[in-house]
Amino acid sequence: MINIYSINIKEVEKYYQKELFGATTVDNFSVSEEANKEEIKEFAKSLLIKKFVSERTDNNIYFSTSFSGHYYLIAIYNKQIGIDIQRFVDIDVRLINYAFDKNERGNSITEADFARVSALKKSLMKCAKVNQEIKLNDLSSNECDGPYIFDNENYVSLAKIYKEHYYIAITYKGNFIDNIEINEINMEEIIGD
């Protein structure tokens, strides 16, 4: 079973503000500021890793994290894994050229298509630890959907809509489709009472 834990970044932001400043509302502090976004993302990542990975005693544990919009995710599995979450965004030619190979580009690409394809490709790149020189548009989405062979290894990739305006994609080493459980958690579950 693949376990995915999802937390709303706004909850993390409130907890972070309280820990940092002793209050949940602080003037001139907003998650929309780029520096604060990065701090909050790193803080969320460290909390999730500490809670769901560091405390585990199993020897064969793999994990991957991803962030988009309001959600930070961690996927945990007993095999190599990659996860990506992609929020639906307004797309333009630049984004289409970024995510789709030449054969996939067309006039009918929707926000959902972009989110699904880019999430699938990013999850593969994370799982397979693909060379940084390879770009998303170097990969065909046909190569990274369902069971397939990539770089002489067996992989499985799956994508599903999450919260209406996101796609979550998971890629893991193997040749069969395993069960996936998405757990929405809150700060109380991470830090306790």
Q: How far apart are CA 128 and CA 94, in angstroms?
A: 26
Q: How far apart are CA 49 and CA 32, in angstroms?
A: 24
Q: Where are the domains of the chain?
A: 2-191
Beta bridge partners of 184: 6
- Higher per-residue confidence, 69 vs 144: 69
Q: How far apart are CA 80 and CA 21, in angstroms?
A: 38
Instruction: Indicate if the pLDDT at residue 93 is higher than 60.
Output: yes
In this predicted structure, what is the pLDDT of residue 23?
Answer: 58
Residue pair 120/160 in contact (Cβ under 8 Å)? The answer is no
* pTM of the complete model: 0.86
Among 148-152, 155-159, 167-171, the range scoring the smallest mean pLDDT is: 148-152
Residue among 165, 64, 68 nearest 124 (CA): 64
In this predicted structure, what is the pLDDT of residue 24?
Answer: 53
Distance between first and last Cα of the chain: 28
Q: What is the DSSP string of 5-24?
A: EEEEHHHHHHHHHHHHHSSS
